[in-house]
C-alpha cells in the first residue's frame, strides 16, 4: 500500500519524483523482477512435491546415510536452472516429504550456484577468464557439501520439526487441488518476504557509495571482506551477479569469486525467505554458517585455481 501511494503521488509531491526515489524504485523492482519468475517456479515445484511425492518414495530414492545423501543432493542441484529464490520453498517441501534435512539443505545451496544457466552466465561475463567458471563450480559445490555434512553431524533436527507433510490420499484431482493450494500459500508467504528483502537490498544499494569499493580494492583482505558483505547486502540473483562483478575490474579474481559464491547461499532476501519458510530459529544458525563456509571455500579455491 505505501508503494502504491508513492507511485500515485509522483508528479504531485516533490520528493516522490527525485532522482534518489527513482533509483531506489528501479533497484527494488529489478530485484523483484529477477527473483519472482524463479520463485513462482519454485513454489509450483514445491506444491507438486507436497501433493505427489510421498515420504516412502523419498526414503527409497534418497540415500539414508548422510555421507551419500549430501553429495548426491549437491549433484542434483544441477537439475534446477533457477536462482536461490526458488530453491528455498523446494527445500522446505523436500524436508516435509521425508528427505533428510542435510540433503535438502545441500540441494538448497547447490541448486542456485552450479546449475547450467548460472555457469553459462558466468562464462559469458568472464570470457577472458575461463577458470572463473571452474572455480565457481568447485567452490560452490564444496560450500554446499560442507554445510550439509556439518548439519548432518551437528544440526538440531528440532529446528525443522514444524515442517509436516500434507499427506497423499485422494485421487488425481484432489492431489492437484492440494498442489495448487500449497503453491498459492507458499507464493503469498514467500513473496511477502521477498518484497521485504528486496526493499532492504534496494535501500542498502542506494546508501553504499562506489568510492568505498575503490578505496578497499587494493587490500586483498579488505577486498574479500567487502565483497562478501556486499554480496549479502545487494541480494542479486545468481543469474546476474557475474555481470555485476565485471563492472568491478579493480578487484582481484579471488575477491570477486567470493562475491559469486557467497551471494547464492546467503543474502538479505534469502534470510527473509528462509525465516518465513524454514523458521527464524533455523535461520539464526544456518545463515552465519553458510557465510563463513562460503568465504573460506571461495578464498581457498581462488588461491588454487585462479
Per-residue model confidence as pLDDT tens digits over 259-283: 999 999 998 888 888 888 888 888 8
Rounded to whole angstroms, the Cα distance separating 267 from 196 reads: 12
- What pLDDT was estimated at residue 46? 67
pLDDT digits (tens, 9 = 90+) for 2-32: 667 666 666 555 555 577 778 888 878 877 7
Closest CA to 38 of 240, 206, 279: 240
pLDDT digits (tens, 9 = 90+) for 224-234: 998 999 889 87
**Does residue 108 have a pLDDT over 80?**
yes
Rounded average pLDDT over 251-264? 93
Rounded average pLDDT over 235-264? 85
- What pLDDT was estimated at residue 71? 87
> Where is average pLDDT lowest: 6-15, 20-29, 41-50, 135-144?
6-15
pLDDT band at 164 (very low <50, low <70, confident <90, very high): low
pLDDT band at 254 (very low <50, low <70, confident <90, very high): very high
Exposure letters 16-42 (e unless 16+ CB within 10 A, then b): beeeeeeebbebbebbbebbbebbbbb
Helices assigned H by DSSP within the chain: 2-8, 19-52, 55-61, 66-76, 84-96, 101-114, 116-125, 131-154, 172-207, 210-216, 220-234, 241-246, 253-262, 268-277, 280-305
Report whether 260 contacts 297 (CB < 8 A).
no
The more confident residue out of 187 and 166 is 187
> Where is average pLDDT lowest: 10-14, 36-40, 292-296?
10-14
- Residue 13 pairs in a beta bridge with 10
What is the reported pTM? Answer: 0.75
- What pLDDT was estimated at residue 22? 82
- What pLDDT was estimated at residue 260? 93
- What pLDDT was estimated at residue 73? 81
> Where is average pLDDT lowest: 79-83, 170-174, 257-261, 270-274?
79-83
Amino acid at each position: 500500500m505505501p508503494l502504491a501511494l508513492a507511485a500515485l503521488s509522483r508528479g504531485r509531491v516533490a520528493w516522490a519524483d527525485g532522482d534518489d526515489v527513482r533509483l531506489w524504485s528501479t533497484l527494488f523492482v529489478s530485484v523483484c523482477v529477477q527473483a519472482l519468475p524463479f520463485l513462482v517456479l519454485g513454489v509450483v515445484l514445491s506444491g507438486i512435491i507436497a501433493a505427489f511425492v510421498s515420504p516412502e518414495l523419498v526414503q527409497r530414492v534418497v540415500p539414508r546415510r548422510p555421507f551419500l545423501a549430501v553429495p548426491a543432493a549437491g549433484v542434483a542441484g544441477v537439475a534446477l536452472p533457477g536462482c536461490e529464490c526458488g530453491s528455498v520453498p523446494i527445500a522446505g517441501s523436500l524436508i516435509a516429504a521425508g528427505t533428510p534435512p542435510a540433503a535438502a539443505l545441500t540441494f538448497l545451496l547447490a541448486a542456485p550456484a552450479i546449475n547450467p544457466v548460472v555457469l553459462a552466465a558466468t562464462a559469458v561475463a568472464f570470457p577472458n577468464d575461463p577458470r572463473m567458471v571452474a572455480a565457481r563450480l568447485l567452490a560452490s559445490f564444496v560450500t554446499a557439501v560442507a554445510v550439509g555434512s556439518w548439519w548432518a553431524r551437528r544440526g538440531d533436527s528440532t529446528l525443522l520439526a514444524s515442517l509436516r507433510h500434507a499427506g497423499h490420499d485422494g485421487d488425481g484431482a484432489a492431489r492437484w487441488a492440494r498442489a495448487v493450494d500449497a503453491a498459492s500459500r507458499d507464493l503469498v508467504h514467500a513473496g511477502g518476504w521477498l518484497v521485504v528483502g528486496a526493499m532492504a537490498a534496494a535501500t542498502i544499494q542506494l546508501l553504499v557509495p562506489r568510492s568505498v569499493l575503490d578505496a578497499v580494492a587494493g587490500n586483498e583482505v579488505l577486498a574479500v571482506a567487502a565483497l562478501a558483505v556486499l554480496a549479502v547486502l545487494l541480494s542479486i540473483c545468481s543469474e546476474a551477479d557475474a555481470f555485476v562483478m565485471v563492472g568491478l575490474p579493480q578487484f582481484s579474481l579471488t575477491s570477486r569469486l567470493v562475491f559469486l559464491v557467497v551471494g547464492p547461499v546467503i543474502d538479505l532476501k534469502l534470510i527473509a525467505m528462509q525465516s518465513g519458510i524454514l523458521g527464524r530459529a533455523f535461520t539464526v544458525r544456518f545463515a552465519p554458517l553458510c557465510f563463513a563456509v562460503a568465504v573460506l571455500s571461495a578464498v581457498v579455491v581462488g588461491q588454487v585455481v585462479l
